């Protein structure tokens, strides 16, 4: 670099530092900031969301955090949580849990732990053991809840990351395992996924959903009722009775890109959990309306949306799709990289495959072929395929492999099934054999694979139910939001069966995009 270029770069970084607060200025300890920079060299300055969020967390008031997908909400929550001081249970001199993250699925839990692990490893020459800093509690084939419970008792971590169902189950086994009056904060990440609410209107559909929710309130509601039982008992009228009672409950942080009015009303009203002052941290998002024309504001402009309609004979762009400009910015495959290692199959996997080879597939093979074709055309290193929840991920993987696609189910604990892709850079050396991760909608909220530029959606049924509700639209926003993160370009390609039920699927997709105000674009390689 010439001296002049160096001087200019230095000037720019000085100017930036003047306008943009540093993590230290927001209250993060300098040793933590050092570890963050060492673990994530690309993280230099806080994002706009983090600038508001980190000081708000230190203020201890409840927080509603809403900003677009990929704006750094979860990452900011992790940093602020690691910065919190640890309390101890004075009776036993054992450290208590400082922050509990409630997340909708195991892979997000492991992603968060992986981030914490990276930071911990960079925190000193003799870093603390990971289980002292972060533990995951999920219902998982590989991890028995009993062992999670024992681990929690033996070494309470600074940060506990759990799915609500597993934490509830552990509390039902041993209700005093966590003293919630000692917990500093409870983060409900992807809160609208964990707590379903609906608008207060009187349509038959809304009534049906309301009854279902009343019958099955779900583990998150039950868990928050336990953690915040003291708040629930406290009203303006009985205030006096509680004067002498310690009224200490954890700071509650509700986070998502899509928090609708009816969810806030649930927290402020019906639930009796949120009282008093709440800090609202909002980014650029505009309110989500029942008529969704503003919803694109929560989708990045650098994501383009495409729909391929598939029949026995053709793969076509959706009628009415606009001509797309050339997308040089979306990476093209680069053939000369190192080949990816082929993992050895387990006995269970081989047995499962044998079973599949003898049974007909539930998937429309034309649609899977369209996925395989678009994947081969566009994907440089990694893509995500979202399939309907009622179908088998393993079967989809098997069928796609038969079509020559390097497909895997997402598993953030396994190197080649996601872990390698959690941090940008690690997997780019495997470009010659791009990977397609297959997941259902239930397992993609909050996932962050920095290289991801393509998401495929197989049919509309994965987008929550057969009716189009606000949840369907929010689900599309979250699926699309896996790409276009942090200034990267992205494509969302929906694959729709054009021969099903008088084009019902095509009409449904068209309606979803219209309600979201999205103009689909043509993929010029298809007719
Ligand atoms: N200050 C920062 N500078 C650079 N990169 C950042 C910064 N903060 C977060 N990131 C990166 O941005 C990506 C998205 O972060 P994160 O998952 O926290 O977003 P999010 O808002 O929670 O998204 P979603 O709504 O989809 O869950 C991650 O790869 C993270 O490492």
In the reported structure, the alpha carbon of residue 144 is separated from the centroid of ligand 1 by a whole-number distance in angstroms of 30
Most confident region among 41-55, 347-361, 460-474, 500-514 by mean pLDDT: 41-55
Could you tell me the pLDDT band of residue 302, with boundaries at 50, 70 and 90?
Answer: confident
| DSSP secondary structure string for all residues of 156-225 | --SEEEE-HHHHHHHHHH-TTSS-GGG--EEEEETHHHHS----S---HHHHHHHHHHHH---HHHHHHH
In the reported structure, the alpha carbon of residue 296 is separated from the centroid of ligand 1 by a whole-number distance in angstroms of 19
Check pocket membership of 75 for ligand 1, CB cut-off 6 A: yes
Helix (H, G, I), strand (E, B) or coil at 366: helix
In the reported structure, the alpha carbon of residue 47 is separated from the centroid of ligand 1 by a whole-number distance in angstroms of 9
pLDDT at 494: 96
Residue 152 has pLDDT above 70, yes or no: yes
All domains in the chain, ordered by first residue: 48-236+248-285 (3.40.50.300), 292-526 (3.40.50.300)
Q: How far apart are CA 458 and CA 463, in angstroms?
A: 10
Buried/exposed code over 163-198 (b: 16+ C-beta within 10 A; e: otherwise): bbbbbbbbbeeeeeebebebbbbbbbbbbbbbbbbb
Residue 309 has pLDDT above 80, yes or no: yes
The pLDDT tens digits of the residues spanning 405-421 come to 999 988 877 766 666 66
Closest ligand 1 atom, CA of 482? 26
Number of Cβ within 10 Å of residue 149's Cβ equals: 18
Residue nearest to atom 8 of ligand 1 (CA): 72
Q: At 458, phi and psi to the nearest 5?
A: -95, 95
pTM: 0.87
Walk across the sheet containing 490-497 and list its strands: 315-317, 303-310, 490-497, 454-458, 382-387, 435-440, 407-409
Check pocket membership of 450 for ligand 1, CB cut-off 6 A: yes
Once rounded to an integer, what is the mean pLDDT over residues 501-505?
Answer: 81
User: Of 290, 315, 331, 309, which is closest to residue 520 (Cα–Cα)?
Assistant: 309
Residue nearest to atom 26 of ligand 1 (CA): 69
Buried/exposed code over 383-419 (b: 16+ C-beta within 10 A; e: otherwise): bbbbbbbebbbebbbbbbebeebbbbbbbbbeebbbb
pLDDT at 116: 96
Q: How far apart are CA 411 and CA 421, in angstroms?
A: 11
Mutate to test the pocket of ligand 1, among 455, 486, 488, 492 (most ligand atoms within 8 A of CB): 486
Reading the block at residue 526, the tokens are 């298809």
Q: How far apart are CA 462 and CA 390, in angstroms?
A: 8
Residue nearest to atom 25 of ligand 1 (CA): 69
Query: Per DSSP, which regions of 446-486 are E strands?
Result: 454-458
Which residue is it, tokens 């001087």? 7
Which residue is it, tokens 């998982």? 140
H/E run at residue 472: helix 470-480
Q: Could you tell me which residues are beta bridge partners of residue 253?
A: 63, 187
Check pocket membership of 65 for ligand 1, CB cut-off 6 A: no
Q: How far apart are CA 269 and CA 60, in angstroms?
A: 21
Q: How far apart are CA 434 and CA 91, in angstroms?
A: 54
pLDDT at 243: 53
Number of Cβ within 10 Å of residue 231's Cβ equals: 20
- Contact in structure between 103 and 86 (CB atoms under 8 Å): no
Once rounded to an integer, what is the mean pLDDT over residues 271-294?
Answer: 70
Min mean pLDDT across 22-36, 326-340, 396-410 is at 326-340
- Mean confidence (pLDDT) of the chain: 84
Check pocket membership of 74 for ligand 1, CB cut-off 6 A: yes
- Contact in structure between 160 and 101 (CB atoms under 8 Å): yes
Q: Could you tell me which residues are beta bridge partners of residue 458?
A: 495
Q: Where is pLDDT greater, at 298 or 83?
A: 83
Mutate to test the pocket of ligand 1, among 72, 194, 476 (most ligand atoms within 8 A of CB): 72
- Contact in structure between 89 and 98 (CB atoms under 8 Å): no
Pairing of strands 88-89, 94-95: antiparallel
Pairing of strands 251-256, 94-95: unpaired
pLDDT at 208: 86
Residue 450 has pLDDT above 60, yes or no: yes
Residue nearest to atom 3 of ligand 1 (CA): 43
Reading the block at residue 278, the tokens are 């709440």
Q: Which long-range contacts does 425-429 make (Cβ < 8 Å, 24+ apart)?
A: 427/381, 427/382, 427/451, 428/337, 428/381, 429/337, 429/338
Residue 281 has pLDDT above 70, yes or no: yes
Please tell me the chain's helix, strand, coil percentages from 3-state DSSP, rounded to the nearest 5: 40, 15, 45
Closest ligand 1 atom, CA of 481? 26
Once rounded to an integer, what is the mean pLDDT over residues 273-287?
Answer: 79
Q: How far apart are CA 269 and CA 279, in angstroms?
A: 17
In the reported structure, the alpha carbon of residue 449 is separated from the centroid of ligand 1 by a whole-number distance in angstroms of 10
Q: How far apart are CA 435 and CA 412, in angstroms?
A: 14
**In whole angstroms, how large is the CA radius of gyration of the chain?**
24
Check the CA dihedral 150-135-189-470 and report its sign.
Answer: negative
pLDDT at 1: 45
- Contact in structure between 421 and 434 (CB atoms under 8 Å): no
Reading the block at residue 38, the tokens are 């060492």
The pLDDT tens digits of the residues spanning 330-372 come to 555 555 455 556 667 788 888 888 888 888 899 999 999 999 9
Pairing of strands 185-189, 454-458: unpaired
Once rounded to an integer, what is the mean pLDDT over residues 189-209?
Answer: 88
Plot region of 385 (φ>0 → left; ψ -120 to 50 → alpha; else → beta) = beta
Share of the chain above pLDDT 70, in %: 81
Check pocket membership of 46 for ligand 1, CB cut-off 6 A: yes
């Amino acid at each position: 670099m010439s001296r002049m270029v160096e001087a200019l770069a230095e000037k720019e970084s000085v100017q930036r530092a003047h306008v943009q607060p540093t993590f230290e200025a927001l209250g993060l300890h300098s040793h933590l900031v050092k570890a963050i920079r060492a673990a994530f060299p690309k993280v230099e300055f806080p994002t706009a969301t983090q600038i508001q969020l980190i000081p708000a967390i230190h203020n201890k008031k409840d927080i509603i955090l809403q900003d677009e997908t990929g704006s750094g909400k979860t990452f900011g929550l992790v940093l602020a949580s690691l910065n919190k001081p640890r309390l101890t249970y004075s009776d036993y001199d054992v450290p208590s849990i400082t922050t509990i993250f409630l997340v909708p699925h195991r892979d997000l839990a492991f992603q968060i732990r992986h981030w914490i692990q990276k930071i911990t490893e960079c925190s000193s020459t003799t870093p603390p053991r990971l289980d002292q800093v972060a533990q995951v509690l999920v219902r998982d084939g590989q991890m028995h809840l009993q062992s999670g419970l024992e681990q929690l008792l033996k070494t309470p971590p600074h940060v506990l990351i759990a799915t609500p169902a597993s934490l509830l189950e552990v509390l039902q086994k041993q209700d005093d395992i966590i003293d919630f009056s000692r917990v500093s904060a409870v983060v409900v990440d992807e809160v609208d996924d964990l707590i379903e609410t609906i608008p207060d209107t009187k349509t038959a559909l809304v009534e049906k959903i309301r009854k279902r929710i009343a019958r099955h309130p779900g583990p998150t509601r039950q868990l928050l009722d336990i953690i915040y039982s003291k708040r629930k008992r406290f009203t303006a009228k009985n205030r006096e009775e509680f004067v002498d009672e310690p009224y200490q409950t954890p700071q509650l942080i509700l986070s998502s890109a899509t928090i609708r009015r009816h969810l806030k009303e649930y927290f402020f009203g019906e639930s009796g959990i949120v009282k008093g002052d709440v800090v609202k941290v909002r980014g650029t998002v505009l309110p989500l309306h029942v008529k969704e024309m503003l919803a694109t504001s929560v989708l990045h402009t650098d994501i383009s949306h495409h729909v391929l309609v598939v029949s026995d004979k053709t793969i076509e762009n959706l009628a009415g799709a606009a001509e797309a400009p050339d997308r040089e910015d979306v990476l093209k495959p680069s053939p000369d990289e190192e080949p990816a290692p082929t993992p050895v199959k387990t006995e269970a996997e081989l047995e499962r495959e044998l079973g599949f080879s003898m049974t007909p597939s539930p998937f429309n093979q034309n649609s899977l072929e369209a996925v395989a074709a678009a994947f081969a055309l566009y994907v440089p290193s990694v893509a995500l395929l979202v399939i309907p929840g009622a179908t088998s991920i393993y079967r989809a993987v098997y069928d796609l492999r038969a079509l020559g696609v390097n497909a895997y189910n997402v598993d953030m604990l396994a190197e080649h099934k996601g872990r390698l892709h959690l941090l940008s850079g690690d997997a780019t050396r495997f470009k010659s054999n791009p990977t397609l991760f297959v997941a259902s909608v239930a397992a993609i909220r909050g996932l962050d694979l920095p290289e991801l530029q393509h998401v495929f959606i197989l049919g509309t049924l994965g987008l929550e139910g057969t009716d189009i509700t606000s949840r369907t639209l929010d689900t599309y926003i979250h699926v699309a939001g896996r790409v276009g993160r942090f200034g990267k370009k992205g494509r969302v390609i929906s694959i729709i069966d054009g021969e099903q039920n008088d084009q019902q699927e095509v009409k449904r997709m068209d309606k979803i995009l219209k309600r979201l105000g999205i103009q689909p674009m043509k993929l010029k390689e298809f007719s």
